[in-house]
Amino acid sequence: MKAPAIRNWFGKKAVDASPPIEAAALRSDRFRLEREGDWMRLEAIVKRMESGRLRGLSDEDVLALPALYRTAASSLAVARETSLDSAAMAYLESLVQRAWFQVYGPRQGFFGWLRGFLGGGLSRSVREIWLDICIALAAMIAGTLTGWLLVSRDQEWFYALVPTQFLDARVPGASREALLETLAVEDSAAGLSTFAASLFSNNAGVSILAFALGFAFGVPSVMLLVHNMAVLGAMWWLYSEAGLTYEFAAWLSVHGTTEIFAILLAGAAGIHIGRSMAFPGARSIISAAAQSGRRAAQVMVGVIFMLILAAVLEAFPRQLLGTTERFTIGMAMLALWMGYFFAFRRQPINGDPA
């Protein structure tokens, strides 16, 4: 029996399209039937691996997995070329994606990654950018000295350098007692969690900006570090003039040895990218930026961890402990970071970040 003709929008008889449609459907069915057995076997293996039931897999299934994946990927390529039905293509795309993850995907979960990251990956990345750390450290020292010298020669520079939120009792000419009050111990921890959150947000902003500006050959990162530390130099001059150098150092060190270290690493990570782009060597600029970017990104993850800890130290121990305890914690944290980044040299194992 002849198939009914298809009519167009105007009701006129159109070309009979049934034979081509039937042929395409037949071709799609034949394609599926010839390969469906391999697809179903691959799906069964992948499903078992996704559920974590690896013991139920036979040696034959494990050995066959790569070949079955390649077969499914080849089938998907053919399906796209020949425009087979959308259901078959959607099924194959999902199957190939899941199988790829099992064949080539990472073999560790979040805790495995964290173990490798904290167990040697982060410290190794920090040591690999040692030259950029030296550049960033020199910029920070220069910024601190610049702030000190500018304010010591003209006190009007203090108001130009120090943000307005610090201009309470901490201004040139303030009495020793007024300045000492700004370093006083709090009576309780009430409200300090909010304070910690705001400190983390501010310090994270500075660190991320120092890192992000590195793409311009690192120059803006250096300038930001100089400016940021000039504020510290101005504040240090203020307290030293009042004879509170030790008290201010203790107040600052309890969180500063972590926070300033984190900002140093963030700036060094930005400089590392900019320096790689400015001096790519035998590599292309894109390749140099990509390679340095991966290393710098790993350092920045560590910076975030450090800033979280710095915010907690700044909000609680700094506000609740006395001068000696503050200084002891600060020096202990500095020794911890120096030992972790530059003395801890664990050899990478399978699954650890490179």
Tens digits of per-residue pLDDT, 16-37? 445 555 555 556 667 777 788 8
Q: Which pLDDT value is given to residue 203?
A: 76
Looking at the structure of the chain, the number of domains it has is: 2
Whether 28 and 144 map to the same domain: the answer is: no
Whether 208 and 325 map to the same domain: the answer is: yes
Is residue 154 included in any domain, yes or no?
yes
Q: Residue 281: which residues within 8 A CB-CB, separation 6 or more?
A: 288
Whether 121 and 200 map to the same domain: the answer is: yes
Is residue 89 included in any domain, yes or no?
yes
Show the low-confidence residues of the chain (pLDDT under 50).
1-17, 191-192, 349-354
Whether 73 and 215 map to the same domain: the answer is: no
Whether 143 and 239 map to the same domain: the answer is: yes
Whether 153 and 243 map to the same domain: the answer is: yes
User: What is residue 176's three-state secondary structure?
Assistant: helix
Q: Which pLDDT value is given to residue 64?
A: 83
Among 53, 69, 104, which residue terminates a domain?
A: 104
Is residue 2 included in any domain, yes or no?
no
Whether 74 and 174 map to the same domain: the answer is: no
Q: Nearest 5 degrees, angle CA 260-CA 253-CA 160? A: 60
Q: Which pLDDT value is given to residue 186?
A: 65
- Cα–Cα distance, 66 to 103 (Å, whole number): 7
Which residues constitute the domain of residue 190?
112-343
Among 104, 136, 165, which residue terminates a domain?
A: 104
Q: What is the pTM of this model?
A: 0.68
Is residue 351 included in any domain, yes or no?
no
Whether 309 and 285 map to the same domain: the answer is: yes
Q: Which pLDDT value is given to residue 99?
A: 84
Q: How far lies 166's CA from each of 179, 230, 334, 338, in Å?
A: 12, 14, 25, 30
- Cα–Cα distance, 29 to 151 (Å, whole number): 83
Q: Which pLDDT value is given to residue 199?
A: 61
- Please name the residue that has the structure tokens 């040692």: 130
Go through 267-284 and write b for each residue having 16 or more CB atoms within 10 A of its CB, e for each that does not.
bbbbbbbbbbbeebeeee
Q: Which pLDDT value is given to residue 283?
A: 85
Whether 85 and 154 map to the same domain: the answer is: no
Whether 58 and 183 map to the same domain: the answer is: no
Q: Which pLDDT value is given to residue 10?
A: 38
Q: Which pLDDT value is given to residue 107?
A: 58
Is residue 184 included in any domain, yes or no?
yes
Whether 91 and 117 map to the same domain: the answer is: no
- Cα–Cα distance, 245 to 323 (Å, whole number): 11
- Cα–Cα distance, 138 to 136 (Å, whole number): 5
Whether 68 and 189 map to the same domain: the answer is: no
Is residue 314 included in any domain, yes or no?
yes
Is residue 181 included in any domain, yes or no?
yes
Instruction: Dihedral sign for Cα 150, 156, 158, 163, please.
Output: negative
Is residue 352 included in any domain, yes or no?
no
Q: Which pLDDT value is given to residue 287?
A: 86
Among 43, 73, 104, which residue terminates a domain?
A: 104
Tokens describing residue 274:
């900019």
